Amino acid sequence: MVLLYLGLGTLFGFVLSRSGAADYDFIQGMFLFTNFQLYGIIGSAVAITAPSLYLLKRYGKTLTGKPLVIELKPGHRGNVVGGILFGIGWSITGMCPGPILVNIGEGKVYALAALAGSLVGAGVFGVSYPRLQGIMRLPVLARGTGDG
């Protein structure tokens, strides 16, 4: 199975790299509304995934016959606040989490700094979870904000 995950990650990374999804200029073009590419990528990915997902859920099993389990993400104030913070970070770096790794792979040295910042940011979040729980209405610690 490890090889499957590695293979899917590689295909995902290659597509992100060659499509502009891991490219600083394409990301700024999306936010400036001067480049349609990223809207096309995300839109078509959702348009193809949604019906496939619907059919798979109706079938109700994985290809190996196990019952299909999709844990839904919880709703909380962090969706808005965290979303806004992430959007600022996506604009600053031109990278979302997957493309940070893709950019490092491509040889873009500065992406290492983006990864370091992301790990520190995620670390600070995890450590301060009990303090954020009340104000952000987050689920119990064992469940977390949603696994993405």
Name which of residues 44 to 83 contact another protein (CB under 8 A): 44-50, 52-53, 56, 62-64, 66, 68-76, 78-83
Considering only residues 85 to 114 of the shown chain, the ones binding another protein according to CB under 8 A are 85-98, 100-111, 113-114
Q: Does residue 135 bind another protein (CB under 8 A)?
A: no
- Least distance between another protein and beta carbon 35 (Å): 10
Residue 111, amino acid:
A
Would you give the binding string for another protein spanning residues 114-133, x where CB under 8 A is met? xxxxxxxxxxxxxx-xx-x-
Joined together, the tokens standing for residue 64 give 């190996």
Q: Does residue 134 bind another protein (CB under 8 A)?
A: no
Which of residues 32 and 134 has its CB atom nearest to another protein in the complex?
A: 32
CB atoms within 10 A of CB 27: 22
How does 3-24 read in b/e, with b if 16+ C-beta sit within 10 Å? Answer: eeeeeeeeeebeebbeebbbbb
Q: Does residue 142 bind another protein (CB under 8 A)?
A: yes
CA distance 32 to 93: 15
Considering only residues 12 to 41 of the shown chain, the ones binding another protein according to CB under 8 A are 12-28, 30-33, 36-41
Q: CB under 8 Å to 84, separation ≥6 — which residues?
A: none
Q: Smallest Cα–Cα separation from 86: which of 107, 72, 100? A: 100
- With CB under 8 A, what is the number of residues at the site for another protein? 123
